[in-house]
Amino acid sequence: MENTKQAIFKLGEEAYGMDIMAINSVEKPLPVEKVANSPVNMKGVINLRDEKIPVYSLRKKFGLDEKEVDEDTRLIITSSNGISIAYEVDKMDEIITLESEHILDAPPLVMNTDTSYIKAIVKNNDCLVILMDIDGILTKEEQNTIKAIIKK
C-alpha cells in the first residue's frame, strides 16, 4: 500500500480511517426522514443540497449501541458502490498522512464477508486504526434496497 491521507474518526473508543480522496464532504447532522422497509443499519435519508442521501449508522453495523446525536456527531458524505451515502460517526478526529511502511494488511484471521470493510490497519500515536474500504461497508442486499429507496 502506498502513502495515503486518511480522515480519522471515532465510533465509541475505536478509531477508523477513510481515504480523504473518497470523501465528498463532512457535515453536521441534518434532520433525518425515516424510510419504511429500509435496511436495519439505515437511519433514514437527509436532503443535502437538493439530493436525497441515505444515512447509514456505522455504530449499528459494528454492533455498538446507538447513541444520541451530539455536537461531535458528523456525517461523512461519500460514494459507496455508486451510491451517495452519509456515514454517521461519533466524532471526526484528524486528517493524517500515513507512510506506507506503517500500514499493515489486516490479519487473515479477522477477514471474512462480515469484515470486508477492513482494508488495512495502522498504529497511530499508540492507537490502532482500522482503515476502511468504502465499497466493502454495504452488503449487496443493503445496496439493492438503498438504490430502490433512492429511486422513489
Does the pLDDT value for residue 142 go beyond 70?
yes
More confident site: 143 or 125: 143
Q: What's the CA gap between 56 and 41, in Å, rounded?
A: 6
Burial of 46 from C-beta contacts in 10 A (0-12 / 13-18 / 19+): buried
pLDDT digits (tens, 9 = 90+) for 88-137: 999 999 999 888 777 878 776 665 566 778 888 888 777 889 999 999 99
- Rounded mean pLDDT, 29-40: 91
Does the pLDDT value for residue 50 go beyond 70?
yes
| Closest to 58 in 3D by CA, of 18, 87, 83, 17 | 87
**Beta carbons of 148 and 140 less than 8 angstroms apart:** no
Domains of the chain: 4-151 (2.40.50.180)
**Beta carbons of 30 and 49 less than 8 angstroms apart:** no
**Beta carbons of 20 and 124 less than 8 angstroms apart:** no
Strand-pairing partners, residue 19, are: 6
Does the pLDDT value for residue 60 go beyond 60?
yes
Identify the pLDDT of residue 2: 72
pLDDT digits (tens, 9 = 90+) for 61-83: 999 998 999 999 999 999 998 99
Q: What's the CA gap between 26 and 36, in Å, rounded?
A: 26
- C-alpha to C-alpha distances, 55 to 35, 77, 123, nearest whole angstrom: 11, 9, 29
Percent of the chain residues topping a pLDDT of 70? 94
* H helix and E strand count, the chain: 2, 11
Helix H segments across the chain? 58-61, 140-151
